[in-house]
Amino acid sequence: EAMKKALKGVDRIVHLAAETGTGQSMYEIEKYFSVNVQGTANLLQLLQDNQSKKPIKSIVVASSRAVYGEGAYLCSEHSTVYPEQRSVEAMSSGKFEPVCPKCGKNVTLLPTSESAPFKPMSMYGLTKQVQEQAVLLYARTADINGIALRYQNVYGPGQSLKNPYTGILAIFSNLARQNQAIEIYEDGLESRDFVYIDDVIEYTIRSLRYQGSFTGALNVGSGEQVTVAAIASEVKKFFDSSSSILIAEKFRVGDIRHNIAEMQLAQRILGYTAKIKFEDGLNKFLTWAAAEPEQDKSAYQRSVDELTEKNLMESVR
């Protein structure tokens, strides 16, 4: 009923609603499918029912880089490959890097393009894949523009500082401000493509206003690779914190190792390239976070305990 009212007089839609957090999705499975998949189905049903009255011109949906899993890598023997999920056995022995799925050799990270196959490694990633495909299928059938924006690691002022499952910047900031130990999983060399909120907004608005004809997925990232260890160090430095930075000798089941987005297609379609460098965006985020109230000190540890209880946190032997 709420969506039905919201759709009155609307000819373009941005669909951002979803449950987020890869860890939680692995044990709150029904909730994630109910919200992400069924919620999207509810929206599309309303659009279909209303199509004869006032059809919409375009729909933009927030997808996720989680649909890729580990993403693209280069094997010296098999060229571009897409590794499988890292095994608990390998990670327990400290072997964190993905390997070629064909020969088992070491591989080198490549930017992942939109043509990469779907290989989600969490229930969250799987529901985002279904959400994306459902919206694009509807758009093709209705002969309207449909754009799935595969957001990388979005950050910036205004993001939640309360949820200990999503966003290492928020987690590290809370710990550093309280002078608590900052735990790093794996070996700290895992990396992510962080994209600042202002750039995300620009990509999204350009998608909404796109005047050409396009139905498909576009990456939304910075194309920069930043390690978790480097982030922890910068956050500690900003707050002049006495926090110790610890390699926790733990890993989360289902986490990916690296992430960097290929951005050429989004630049060609939308005519935009991310402007905010990570160093500048991080400073803006931390300046904002410093003025926010401190969060519950025990929230992070509760999240660790919960993942451990659900057999989703393992130790390196």
Which residues make beta-bridge pairs with 182? 245
Counting other chains too, the contacts that 302-311 makes at CB distance below 8 Å and 24 or more residues apart are: 302/164, 303/23, 303/164, 303/165, 304/183, 307/23, 307/252, 310/26, 310/27, 311/253
Q: Is the dihedral of CA 187, 274, 285, 128 positive or negative?
A: negative
Residue 64's nearest CA partner among 221, 215, 203 is 221
Q: Are 177 and 239 in contact (CB under 8 A)?
A: yes
Query: Which helix or strand (DSSP H or E) is residue 245 part of?
Result: strand 245-247
Active-site annotation holds for 272: no
First to last CA, the chain: 53
- Write out 213-231 in H/E/C secondary structure: CCEEEEEECCCCCEEHHHH
Tell me the angle at which helices 168-177 and 228-238 cross, rounded to the nearest 10 degrees. Answer: 40
Catalytic position from the list 124, 138, 155, 300:
124
Alpha-carbon distance of 140 to 130, in angstroms, equals 15
**Catalytic residue positions, numbered:** 124
